[in-house]
Amino acid sequence: DVVLTQTPPTLSATIGQSVSISCRSSQSLLHSNGNTYLHWLLQRPGQSPQLLIYLVSRLESGVPNRFSGSGSGTDFTLKISGVEAEDLGVYYCVQGTHAPNTFGAGTKLELK
Amino acid sequence: EVQLVESGGGLVQPGRSLKLSCAASGFTFSNYYMAWVRQAPKKGLEWVATISTSGSRTYYPDSVKGRFTISRDNAKSSLYLQMNSLKSEDTATYYCARGVGMGWGQGVMVTVSS
C-alpha cells in the first residue's frame, strides 16, 4: 500500500502567519491517465472532514484562496498564507491513484 | 450542494452484524465512485471500502475484507455497508464519502462492545 508521510505532525502558528504542510508518498502518485490524485482535507474539531484542495492544486469551491497546493510525483505541499482562527484542526492528505486509497496520519494546526 | 446522510449506527455486541446506509443528494450519484471511511476515537482516517459507479467493482483493505460488504442502489441514490463478525477494533465513526474524499457525510458512530 502507498504510505503518505505528513510533516510536521503538529504545527503551532499565530494568526496571520503563513505555514506549510508536507506530504510525501512512498510511490509516485502520477496516474497513467495523467492526473495526480492527491487531495487535502481539513477536519475541524468535532466535525467531519472537508475537501480543501483536489488534484494537487485545485481549490474546492468555497474554500478561501489563502489555501494553496503544489507538488508532483511523490512530494506535495499545502500552504496557508495567513492563518485564521477557523483554520485550526487536523489536515490530511489522501491519495486515490493507487488502490487501496490511503490517508496521511494528519497534521494538527493549533494556535501558538 | 452535495449532501450525504449516514444512518444505522449504534451499539452492537462482538460477532454481530450491522448495516449502515447513506442517502445522497445534490449530485448525480450514479456518476461517482463512493466509499466508506472510518475514524476510531482520537485516531486518523482509515478507508474501509470503495465501490465503482455501477457497483460491479468493490475494494476493501485486509482489515475488513471478508467481513464488510459495500453496495449501492443508484435508483435510490443510496450507499450501504453491511458489517458482519464485528470486532471491538471496528469501533469508530463511519463516514460516507464521494470518491476519494470529495464530499463527506456527518458520520455515524458504531460501538462494538459486550
Q: What is the pLDDT of residue B45?
A: 94
pLDDT bucket at A100, cuts 50 / 70 / 90? confident
User: For residues B15 and A6, what is the distance between their CA atoms, to the nearest angstrom?
Assistant: 35
Element (H, E) at A21: strand A19-25
Q: What is the pLDDT of residue B84?
A: 98
Q: What is the pLDDT of residue B101?
A: 84
Grid cell of B63 as nine digits: 482489515
Tens-place pLDDT, residues B39-65: 999 999 999 999 999 999 999 999 999
Tens-place pLDDT, residues B4-23: 999 999 999 999 999 999 99
Nearest CB neighbour to A103, from listed B47, B50, B104: B47
B101/A48 touch (CB, cutoff 8 Å), yes or no: no
Spell out which residues of chain A touch residue B59, defining contact as CB-CB under 8 Å.
99-100
Q: Give the closest residue to B91 by CA, choosing from B16, B3, B4.
A: B16
Is A91 an 8 Å CB contact of chain B? Answer: no
Task: Name the percent of chain B lying above pLDDT 70.
Answer: 100
Nearest CB neighbour to A49, from listed B45, B50, B60: B45
pLDDT bucket at A65, cuts 50 / 70 / 90? very high
Spell out which residues of chain A touch residue B99, defining contact as CB-CB under 8 Å.
96
Q: What is the pLDDT of residue A99?
A: 84
For A12, A86, B20, B44, the CA distances from A20, given in Å and listed in that order, are: 11, 16, 37, 20
Q: Give the closest residue to B27 by CA, choosing from B109, B106, B97.
A: B97
The rounded mean pLDDT for chain A is 96
Best residue in A44, A51, A90, A95 to probe B by mutation, most B CBs within 10 Å?
A51
